[in-house]
Structure 1
Amino acid sequence: MAFISLNSDEPGVRSLFRYRPETAGPLNELVEVLLCGESSMSRGERELIAAYVSSLNECRFCFSTHAAIAAAHLDEGMPLVEQACANPSAAPVSGKLRALMDIAGAVQRGGKAVTQRHVDAARALGATDMEIHDTVLIAAAFCMFNRYVDGLATYAPDDPAVYAERARRSDGYVAGLAELQRQA
């Protein structure tokens, strides 16, 4: 049960967006740019970074949501997502993505945990400054989202099928916000 009266039975951040809709717009726009906007990284790779950070933060709702979306956008599906989140160094992902996930993991520990060594390793494997920037911002944003969702004890369904169904219907985050607003 959530710590505050949310007046919504929707899970996770969706109930929070209904509670305080004026915050929903800017937050969804940020996630739209980071995870769905123009990028040299695929949507699946960016969603995987969000899922990885959420797994490190033990945020069941955010992990389950973004793992399902990543799986829907990666050819290898959920087995790859689960393996990459459990042990990125052994996952069958590109060296560049592995290095970016290493940066994301450092951000999750704290911004100053990111070192020149992390950045140099990612660059040596072909990461661009934009990819490094976006990885840091995705990781930082998901630390915030994870704390927002869990800090108010929002509901997170146990059934993975709920998240998989939502991932199949995901046209992005601004579109999801429009759906929430239509339902209000």
Structure 2
Amino acid sequence: MAVTDEVESLAGRAVGGVSDAWAVLGVRLVRRLWVPCLVLGVAWVVWTGTTQDVSELRLATVQEIVGALLSPFVGVVLALGLRVASTVLGVVAALPVVRTDLRRARRRMATGVVHVVSVAIGLRWLRTTTAARDVALSRLRPPVARTMLLLDRVETALVPVAVLVLLVVVAVASG
């Protein structure tokens, strides 16, 4: 068996049925937005010339989070929120697949809550790979799969575009 067959087999086991394919792709879309959001948020902070120190930015209460969202740090706060939300959503979306697999192997391994969550965390990482994305796309109808792949490619292009915007903003602000 070739290495690519093994990877595709592993990714195939990591993605359940059609509804799980939607979950994998949805979490992937949310997860990948955090980098362009962070870079554009930093560009916005540079553009507005904010003198507030980032260490003064507190996010302990709802009022402080709302205040940060209404400040020039909106992109940075939104990026952090997307990253945390995508991590939690990824683990929650992986739980049904983990529970199904562990139910089959119940006699051979411990299935306590901590074990299930730790396996779900590991599975979440596998489900963020392009192999898992390709498996998830193969489980959707072709027109939907093409649209999701297009969205994935647009997100891939957002990172260099955001970096270019940041470089232009820094050049204009310092010049």
TM-score of the alignment, normalized to the shorter chain, above 0.5? no
TM-score of the pair, normalised by structure 2:
0.30
Task: Please state which structure has a larger fraction of its residues in helix.
Answer: 2
TM-score of the pair, normalised by structure 1:
0.29
Tell which has more relative contact order, 1 or 2 (C-alpha 8 A, sep 6+).
2
Larger radius of gyration: 2
